[in-house]
A and B are shown apart, each in its own frame.
Chain A
Amino acid sequence: MSTFQPVDSPLLTEQAMYEQVIPAGDGWLHDLLPGQVLRIVDMEGNQAVDTLFYSTEDPTDHYSAVRTMTRQGNLYLTTGSTLLAESGRELMRITADTCGRHDTIGGACSAQSNTVRYAHDKLPMHNCRDTFMLMLSQRDEFTKRDLAPNVNFFMNVPVTPEGELTFADGLSAPGRYVELLALAPVTVLISNCPQLNNPCNAYNPTPAKVLIWNAEGVSAHV
């Protein structure tokens, strides 16, 4: 079994062209150009940042968890992982990672899945899939069909060789981050998870931060 090696980024925060805090429970929808670098920071630790990626050139082409996993032969994402779309198009590559565990199969919480996992009376609670849908509803090109299994940055969902799936916490910490290089024009959708029903985040959703650096030698505004 391999041991995680943290990979720091050489990029300086003062040179980022964009910086934004995403409060707990809020969403973020943003287009990246090829060569731009997105850093997602777990500001207070053990927060799940539910993230989806789409080809900006073809928004019907969504991030594919299973194509990404089978291509690399591994469930988890870390430095070197290439995130693929359902067409096989390469969307993003992880270029730095100081956390070491990012989940690909846990998906996003929803009002309806909360009724199944916890209790029927959880239906009114705020959830990631509502945030995803609110963000996607801003753009005519998206419909509900475009929701797909997402990445949960900073979340640890171990699978045992016996096929048991569990939720664990404690791997991330304040200030840990993951950095991704856009390999194509990519639309990024984030729900900063408001889940209050399980102990992964100590029942206390916290903010995340996103920073963007331009491709070297490019001064494009986004």
Chain B
Amino acid sequence: MTALFTMTMQPGNKWSAHVGRGKAITLTATGDRANLSALLFHAQDPAERYNMPDTLKAQHTAFLTTGNILMTDQGKALASITEDTVGWHDPLSGYTTRQATDEKYGKTTYQDQRNDWLRSGEENFKVELFRHNLSPRDIGVPVNFFSKVVCELDGTMKYMLQETAARSVTIRTEMDILLVLSNTPHPLDPSGQYPDASIVVSVADAEPVSEMDPCVVHCEENRRAFENTWNAYALLKGAN
């Protein structure tokens, strides 16, 4: 696949864009302890958005990897994870806040450090949402790509180190989406050192989805979510 678009997100960077249906977005980490927090919305109607509980319940999973899909609150397949060499992406832990960033890594300011000051997921999301006429009201649960959090039987959440350098995950868009990304630390990463992994974002045209697509056949629930998406697009499509 030839990339239509490639960019590199340095640590702390944010990015948002509308990405049309049928694209393959490949995220590649250049180092270990990478974490990319992502919010996803339906591009034309951002009140419809990625829904963590619906996604996890339907697939009986507390983490995301190849074969899993991200579902909207309207029972649709929003995006699919078609390839993954990382193994575990965390949907449970949210984003770093300004307060937590200051407490964990020490207070930094633009006045002192210029562009080396340490950004937080909270502020990155606020800015990128506002850019698209949304607001902090629209901050929900992100997917934390590249991060692994294991829950013990009593519910204790444990951040686990997993190799991320040169590993990648590919997300295929099943709907037109608004994608909001923040390359900021995982909130449960116990290290006092701000992560230094940049993320390469590469977008290409995806192959058409077949009835036997691994994400479609992953479970009956996924197939019905795809059918809901296909039906919605069938209703929108013009006669010509």
Residues of A within 8 A of B (CB): 1-2, 60-62, 64-67, 69-70, 73-76, 86-88, 105-108, 110-117, 119-120, 129, 143-149, 158-161, 163-166
Contacts and interface: CB of A to CB of B under 8 A. Distances in A.
B53 A108 contact: yes
13 contacts: A65-B52, A86-B137, A110-B73, A110-B75, A112-B74, A112-B76, A113-B57, A116-B228, A145-B138, A159-B155, A160-B153, A161-B150, A163-B62
A57 B51 CA distance: 26
A50 B157 CA distance: 23
Contacts of B53: 105-108, 149
Top 3 A-B residue pairs of the complex, sorted by shortest distance between their CB atoms: A107-B53, A66-B94, A112-B75
B94 A69 contact: yes
A97 to B, nearest CB: 14
B54 A110 contact: yes
B154 interface: yes
Contact of B71 (A2, A60, A116): A116
Contacts of B57: 106-107, 113, 117, 165
A52 B58 CA distance: 21
A108 B151 CA distance: 21
A144 B137 CA distance: 11
Contacts, number: 135
Interface in B141-166: 141, 150-157
Given A1-B152, A66-B94, A147-B73, 16 more contacts: A1-B153, A61-B136, A62-B137, A66-B92, A76-B155, A105-B52, A105-B56, A107-B57, A115-B228, A146-B137, A148-B140, A149-B51, A149-B53, A161-B152, A164-B60, A165-B57
A165 B157 contact: no
B10 interface: no
